[in-house]
Structure 1
Amino acid sequence: MRDVPDYWRIADDVIADVKSKKLRPGDRLPSIADTRATYDVSHGTVQMAYARLEALRVIRRQQGKGVFVTDPKTWMREP
């Protein structure tokens, strides 16, 4: 298996959780500190993962409230 950057792996895990419905629209993602501890990565790596997810419209950030899953209908293509 080819190595992928940690931030890509984190983003892929979130996307997989949304697709499998472990995460649903409106669910709050763990804090950066919690995600950092789960994956044993730096703060910047989690920020990059969340930035990637935001660019893909998988999540939305709300200042002072957290990071939330968006409706997959807005970003996920049907097979």
Structure 2
Amino acid sequence: MPTQPDYVRISNAYASAIVDGKLKPGDQLPSIAEMTQRYSVGATTVKMVLVRLEAQRLVRRQQGKGTFVEPREKWLLPGDDDEPVIEI
């Protein structure tokens, strides 16, 4: 049974939490340091998680401030007609 890489598993969990409304627009995600400790992964893995979420426009990163959930109208979800399909 193939397992997903950590960055895919973690980013999918955050994407689900955002889409399901558990994380709301404007909510701040944990810092890279907090995520590395929480998930027992390296900083590179966490950065890949954030890049993936940012590519889906689910979050925005602000240098020195953190990573924040974007409003729903900015998200790129599978099936959006005017944007490329990005798998969540």
Corresponding residue number in structure 2 for 1:16: 16
TM-score, length of structure 2 as denominator length: 0.80
Structure 2 spans left out of the alignment, 5+ residues: 80-88
Runs of 4+ deviating beyond 4 Å? none
Contact 1:29 1:69 in 2 (8 A): yes
Structure 1 spans left out of the alignment, 5+ residues: none
Figure out how many residues of one structure are paired with residues of the other and give that number: 78
Percent of counterpart pairs with the same letter? 46
Structure with the higher helix share, 1 or 2: 1
Contact 1:28 1:67 in 2 (8 A): yes
Pairwise CA RMSD: 1.5
**What is the alpha-carbon distance in structure 2 between the residues aligned to residue 3 and residue 77 of structure 1?**
22
**What is the alpha-carbon distance in structure 2 between the residues aligned to residue 72 and residue 12 of structure 1?**
17
Which structure's CA Rg is the greater one? 2
Structure ranking higher on relative contact order (CA contacts 8 Å, 6+ apart): 1
CA deviation map 1:31-65 (0-9, x unaligned) = 01111111110000000110111111111011111
**What is the alpha-carbon distance in structure 2 between the residues aligned to residue 73 and residue 63 of structure 1?**
23
